[in-house]
Amino acid sequence: MAVPYHEQMHTAIWTWIREESNSRSEALISVNPSPIIILQEIISRIPHEHPAWHQDARAPSYLSPSGNIPIMGTFSEQMCTVAEHLHRTGQQQRISWYDMKRILQFYLSDAEEYWNYINSLDWNYDQVDSYFGLNLHDIVSCRTACSGDNTCSYGIGI
């Protein structure tokens, strides 16, 4: 049975965001591409303000082979490919760009809420690393080699 939103779609979105945040060339956002900033940028580039059935709905309405939105770069292409595969194989109902925008807005809200909570704890670098088991101790040695903008030569913000 086809579901409205398949977990493979979720995985594809977050995989793309992770790759985008680690990319330094041909990125959607070239300066400090954090997941929150990337989500904000993607959402701002989805022009759909109405559901696909609404009389004022914009085309392309659905993520499909013909539903690519060029100003969104590879995000649009990859999500259309995944959505079409899931639809063709009967795993996911056709998803509209309007619904995708709403999903991304939820992800953004959730990420901001989570990030704000973590920041409210006022933990230092070592406490965050220890609590979440991030094993970032290797980056500590990079701190001394950082440039003025606190970005290591590895491109990791500290």
Q: What is the largest CA-CA distance in the chain?
A: 58
If one counts the domains in the chain, the total is: 2
Q: Give the confidence band of 27 by pLDDT, cuts at 50, 70, 90.
A: low
For 109-154, the pLDDT digits (tens) are: 999 999 899 889 999 888 888 888 888 765 544 444 444 444 443 3
Nearest 5°: phi and psi at 151? Answer: -115, 125
Together in a domain, 104 and 129: no
For residue 67, the enclosing domain spans 7-122
For 50-106, the pLDDT digits (tens) are: 888 888 888 888 888 888 888 888 999 999 999 999 999 999 999 999 999 999 999
Together in a domain, 75 and 142: no
Do the domain assignments include residue 2?
no
Can you give the pTM of this predicted structure? Answer: 0.78
Together in a domain, 13 and 66: yes
Task: Please report where in the chains the tokens 């398949």 appear, as a residue.
Answer: 6
